[in-house]
A = this chain, B = another copy of it.
Amino acid sequence: MSNPSLLILAGDGIGPEVMAEVRKVIAWFDAHGTSFDVTEDLVGGAAYDVHGTPLADETLAKALAADAVLLGAVGGPKYDVLDFSVKPERGLLKLRKELDLYANLRPAQCFDALADFSSLKREVVAGLDIMIVRELTSGVYFGEPRGIFTEGNERVGINTHRYTESEIARAARAAFDLARQRGSRVCSMEKANVMEAGILWREVAQKIRDEEYPDITLSHMYADNGAMQLVRAPKQFDVILTDNLFGDILSDAAAMLTGSLGMLPSASLGATGPNGYPRAMYEPVHGSAPDIAGQGKANPIACILSFSMALRYSFNLGDQADKLEAAVEKVLADGLRTADLLGPAGGTAISTSQMGDAIVAAL
């Protein structure tokens, strides 16, 4: 039987650096009985530089054939001048859309050893463990009509927010399934008081809950109140279900609450792919951080934990994922810290590659 296949798209900025550490982890697993066929390709600005497009057709074909994609990060100031259609972000959005990765899982977890890094009080965030499920392939990100048009003697910018019932339903199911493995509570967020699309969202989420997940407690909250509650008392939440645009903003706010942005992974899942695995892409929540790229300062943990999510969600290798997460915790408990994790409490300053080595050693 052949190994499952991984496509690595390291991308821009610190992407290649943090991905180099993931490769060490993959090599360790390979030497210990869990092997993947790994290929690598370009995405984002790195792809534009070579192909004049942030996602070449061959790369997309590889992604469609792979059992999981690991992505580093895309974007950088160098590409700010590019036309909208070839900006690095378009490569990422095209991958999401073409792989139909409709459920974006963003855990916001506060690591105990790092709770003091949060701008929030320790008691507000210590032990925080939220899972945000963001719909990722529809809404205002992809709705038509869109563009800048001329109307009378001025221009108008238009984007269309749209959700079908089935799009809402499948995102809701993803959230309910996850809640079953956690605290069985889902809070769905929209602006049903202002947007008809929010009314439909609320109605469909409730219907799926009532018909298919009677064991799950579902509540509804307006997204503006959601932002407030995340700041006020984030531990009230278990799973948050929301749309593409609200999810973008709320998950970033939630990530920042933890104080450990460099630690947070994400998974984007779709329907079953060619070999029985779900279509999936894993990536750190942090961006390409061009300001520190190439300096050995980046924290590879978010990207390594993204690989751990791949083990768990794509390949059903929960034990291996647990093992990898325990190794990360051990290294933190030992006081090893990349630059972003060095605070008043001290710790031993190490580089990106030393962090990767330490995690492999802990394995």
Query: How far, in whole Å, are A166 and B153 apart by their CA atoms in the complex?
Result: 10
Q: In the complex, which of the residues B191, B196, B253 contacts A245, with contact meaning CB atoms closer than 8 Å?
A: B191
Query: How far, in whole Å, are A165 and B257 apart by their CA atoms in the complex?
Result: 35
Which chain B residues border A246 with CB–CB below 8 Å?
A: 249
Q: In the complex, which of the residues B93, B147, B163 contacts A157, with contact meaning CB atoms closer than 8 Å?
A: B163
Query: How far, in whole Å, are A197 and B146 apart by their CA atoms in the complex?
Result: 8
Query: How far, in whole Å, are A197 and B149 apart by their CA atoms in the complex?
Result: 10
Q: Is the CB of B157 within 8 A of A162?
A: yes
Which residues of A are in contact with B by a Cβ distance under 8 Å? Answer: 75, 84, 87, 89, 93, 119-121, 124, 140-141, 143, 146-148, 151, 154-166, 191, 193-201, 223-225, 227-228, 230-233, 245-246, 248-250, 252-253, 255-257, 261
Query: How far, in whole Å, are A155 and B199 apart by their CA atoms in the complex?
Result: 12
Q: Is the CB of B250 within 8 A of A231?
A: no
Which chain B residues border A249 with CB–CB below 8 Å?
A: 223-224, 227, 246, 249-250
Most buried by B among A89, A157, A191, A255: A157
Query: How far, in whole Å, are A75 and B194 apart by their CA atoms in the complex?
Result: 13
**A contacts with B: majority SS:** helix
Closest residue of chain B to A201 (Cβ to Cβ) is: B157
18 residue pairs bridging A and B, Cβ less than 8 Å apart: A75-B193, A84-B196, A87-B193, A121-B121, A140-B140, A141-B195, A146-B195, A148-B200, A155-B200, A156-B165, A157-B196, A158-B196, A159-B197, A161-B161, A191-B248, A225-B252, A231-B253, A231-B256
Q: List 18 extra interface pairs beyond A84-B196, A119-B232, A230-B253, CB under 8 A.
A: A84-B199, A87-B193, A89-B194, A119-B231, A120-B121, A143-B158, A148-B196, A148-B199, A155-B165, A156-B162, A156-B165, A157-B198, A158-B162, A159-B195, A227-B227, A227-B250, A228-B252, A228-B256
Copies of this chain, count: 2
Q: Is the CB of A233 within 8 A of B119?
A: yes
Query: How far, in whole Å, are A231 and B128 apart by their CA atoms in the complex?
Result: 16
Q: Which 6 A-B pairs have the closest CB atoms?
A: A157-B197, A157-B200, A227-B253, A231-B256, A224-B252, A228-B256
Which chain B residues border A143 with CB–CB below 8 Å?
A: 158
Q: Is the CB of B163 within 8 A of A156?
A: yes
Which chain B residues border A201 with CB–CB below 8 Å?
A: 157
Q: In the complex, which of the residues B93, B195, B196 contacts A194, with contact meaning CB atoms closer than 8 Å?
A: B93
